[in-house]
Structure 1
C-alpha cells in the first residue's frame, strides 16, 4: 500500500504510483538501467501530473510507449536527436514537453518544421534541373526571409509551403510537356493555369522570383489575387452572432472570449491567440484586455466569458501546461492554440474573416482612422481602406435615396 487516500488503481497502489512506475520503466536506458540525467526533469513532470489517470492512459498507448523507449536510448537529448526519431504527432508533442520542462532549449517551431518539410518536398520534382531551381528558391526566397524574423508565424509557414507546392506543380507540368523553364511562354502559363485549381494563382510569387533571377523572360504574368472582394458580415448578422456568443453556451468559454475580440473589436485571430494573462486584467468591477496600444474595457455581458476563462483556464492538470501564461492554451505543450484551429472552432457560429471585415467597416463610421488604427493595432492604411469602402457604401445609399 502506498498510503495515499485517493482512489486506488491496482495492487494497493494509487494512480500516481502506477504512473511513476510506468515512467521509470519506459524512460530507463536499457544499457544503464536508469533514467539519464538529461531526462530526469521530464520524468519528474510526468510523474507530477495532477490527473495521473489521464497521464497513465496516454503513456500506455502503443505509439507513445514505443517513442519514449526510443527516446530513452538516445545517446544525447537534443533537437537533432529527436529529429532523427520517426516523424509523428507524438514526436512533436513530446518535444514540446521536453522544451516546456527545460530539457531542450526553445526553438522556432515553424522554422524548424519548414526546414524539415523542405528537405523532403524536393523529391516531388521529376526533373533534377528543376529540383535545383526549387532548392535555390526555398533557400534564397523563403528561408532567408524567415532568418530575418524573430519568430516565424504559422501564416508565413503555411504560405511558404503553399507557394513552393504550387511552383513544383508548375515545373512538373512543364516537364510533362517537354518544356524547360527557360523556354516558358505566356501561352504555357495560360494553359497550365486554366486546367487547374484557383490556388495556381499563387504561382505569381515563384514567377516573380524566377523573373528577378533571370530564369524566365520578364514579360510573363499570372493573374494576381484580387483584394477587397472578400465577403463581409452585415451589421445585423454581427449583432446576432454577438448575442449567440454572449448569451448561449454554444461555444466553450475560451472560444466565446476569442469571438468577442473578433466580433466587437475586429481583431485578427493570429493576434488573439498570442494574448497572455499579462494582457488581461480581471477585477471585481471590470475586465480589460490589451489589444493594439490600449486596454479595452469589456462591459457586462461581454466580460462573462472572460471571467469564466480566468477562473478555469484549462490544461493545468497535465504536464503540457503546468504554469502556462497563454490565455488560449493549445494542444502542443507550452504553446498557444493554433490560429487555424481556433478559426475552425469559431466557424460553427461565424466566419472570422467576414466578421472582422464587417466590424472594421462599421467602426470606421464611428472614429477617425488614426485613432482606430492605434487602438486596434492596425496599420493606418488598412483602416483607411475600410473607411473609403464604408464611405463609398454610404454615398451609394444617399444616391439611392435621392433617386427615389
Structure 2
C-alpha cells in the first residue's frame, strides 16, 4: 500500500514533480524530468509488459505508457541479489520475497534439531510464495506471531488437539486455518468444536449442581446430537444453540435464586421470569419442551411464543433508493455491491450469500446467472456488472490464506468464507440488511405463487407464505428504474 501523501509545499519545493505535478521533494532526475518520493516509490512498484516485450518492473514513461529501464533510460536498481528477479528491494539488495523466505525458514526451524518438521514444510512454502510478501513480513514480525511460530516449530506433534490445548487467540486460529488450508491438518467442522468448547465453559455459570447436570444432558442429547447428524454446522445453528442454552441457564439460575427446583416449576413462576427479562427469554420455549419431554419439568407449562411479522421492513422507496446507490456508486467495494444486489433484489440472507461459491455462479459474455435455490437466476444489466468485476479480479491469491478458494466472498480466516456478521456490518452503511431482506420478500410475494418463489430463492414455502400480503411493484420495475436512471429517462 502506498504511503498517504502529505500536503504539498510550493514554498519549500517550488519545482513540481514532473509526473504528479505536486510540490514535494525531488528525489531523482530521470529522462522525463524530476520525480518526487511518492512517484519514485510508485515507479518501483509498477509491473507489467513493456512495448519491447520485457516483463518486469516498468519505472519509466514513454508516450504516457509505462516502460522498462532499457527503453526509458531510467536508472533504478530493482535487481534482487538473492533471486535475480526484478522487484522492489527491501534490504541488503534483496527483495521482499527473499527476506520473507529467510525469516520463515528461521522461525519454523526447530533449534534443537536444526531442521524443519515435515508437517510445517507446506506451510512454509505457502507463506514464502504469497504475492503480498511485504504484508506477510509485516504480519510475521509482530512479536506475538513470531513467538507463536517459534513455539510451533518446537512442538513435538502438530495436530488439531495441539491447537485446541493452546490459549485462544486470533494468531492460533489463523495459523491453524493455514495448516488446514494447505493440507497439513485434515478439515473438520470448526463450529462443532467451538460449540463443544463453549458449552464446557457455559456449564460453569450454573449455580446448582443438579441444574448443571440437566443442562449438560440438554446440550449433549438435544444440541450436540442434532449437530452430529448434520453434514456441516451453519452459523445460524451454532448461534441458536448458544442462545437457547444461555437462556435456559438464565432460567435455572433464576429458579435457584428463588429457592425453586425445576420439578417444582409452575406457570406463575415462568410468567414472572419472562415478564422480568428481555424478549429473548421466549427462546426458553425449546428448552422447556425438552425438559417436559424428558420429565425433568412438569407437563402443561408454556412460554409465550415469539410473535412473527413484527420486525421492521424497508419500504419500496427505500429499496429503490438503496439499489440505485449500489448500482451507480463506484466508490463502494465491488463485493459489497454484489452482495447488496442479492439482498435488495432477491431477499437473500447474509449467511446464504456468504456461503456462495463460484460453482453457484455462471458468467458468459451474454449472461450472469446465480443459483440461489434450485433454479439459476439471471442478473440482467446493470445488476451483473459487480459480479463480472468480482469474477475478473477476485483477489484471493494475494496471501497464503486462500490459494485455491472457491468462495465468492472469502473471509479473513484461511480457507473460510466471509463472516455473515461482518458482511452485514459492511452493508449497514447503506441499509439494514434484515429490513431490506424482509421488505424485498414482502414485495416479491406479490409477483408469483409462494411455491415458485420459495423454490427459486431457496426459502421454505412457510417462510415465503408469511410475506405474501398486500400488493406492490414488480421485480421488473427494479430493472426498469435502474436502466431509466442510466439513460436519463423516466421510468413508466
TM range (shorter): over 0.9
Query: C-alpha displacement at 1:386, in angstroms?
Result: 2.0
Match of 1:169 in 2: 250
Alignment of 1:66-215 (within 5 A): 66-215=147-296
Query: C-alpha displacement at 1:149, in angstroms?
Result: 0.4
Q: Which has the higher strand share?
A: 2
8 Å CA contact 2:443, 2:471 repeated in 1: no
Q: What is the aligned counterpart of 1:264 among 321, 345, 348?
A: 345
Q: Which has the higher helix share?
A: 1
Alignment of 1:297-316 (within 5 A): 297-316=378-397
Match of 1:216 in 2: 297
Structure 2 residue 9 is matched with structure 1 residue 9:
no
* CA displacement 1:230-289 (0-9 Å, x = unmatched): 222211111111101111135311011011111111222222111111221223332221
Q: Distance in 2 between matches of 1:181 and 1:385?
A: 36
Name which one, 1 or 2, has greater alpha-carbon Rg: 2
TM-score, normalized by length of structure 1? 0.93
Q: Distance in 1 between matches of 2:315 and 2:173?
A: 41
Structure 2 residue 123 is matched with structure 1 residue 42:
yes
- Report how many aligned residue pairs link the two structures: 391
Structure 1 unpaired stretches of 5+: 393-404
8 Å CA contact 1:134, 1:168 repeated in 2: yes
8 Å CA contact 1:71, 1:82 repeated in 2: no
* CA displacement 1:13-34 (0-9 Å, x = unmatched): 2211111111112112232121
Q: Which has the higher contact order (CA 8 A, sep 6+)?
A: 1
SS at match of 1:378: coil
8 Å CA contact 1:244, 1:250 repeated in 2: no
Query: C-alpha displacement at 1:299, in angstroms?
Result: 1.4
Query: C-alpha displacement at 1:296, in angstroms?
Result: 1.7
Match of 2:99 in 1: 18
Query: C-alpha displacement at 1:321, in angstroms?
Result: 0.8
Q: Distance in 1 between matches of 2:453 and 2:303?
A: 35
TM-score, normalized by length of structure 2? 0.77
SS at match of 1:119: helix
Query: C-alpha displacement at 1:56, in angstroms?
Result: 0.6
Q: What is the aligned counterpart of 2:449 among 341, 346, 368?
A: 368
Match of 1:390 in 2: 470
Structure 2 unpaired stretches of 5+: 1-80, 473-492
Q: CA RMSD in A?
A: 1.7
Q: Distance in 2 between matches of 1:185 and 1:306?
A: 56
SS at match of 2:85: coil
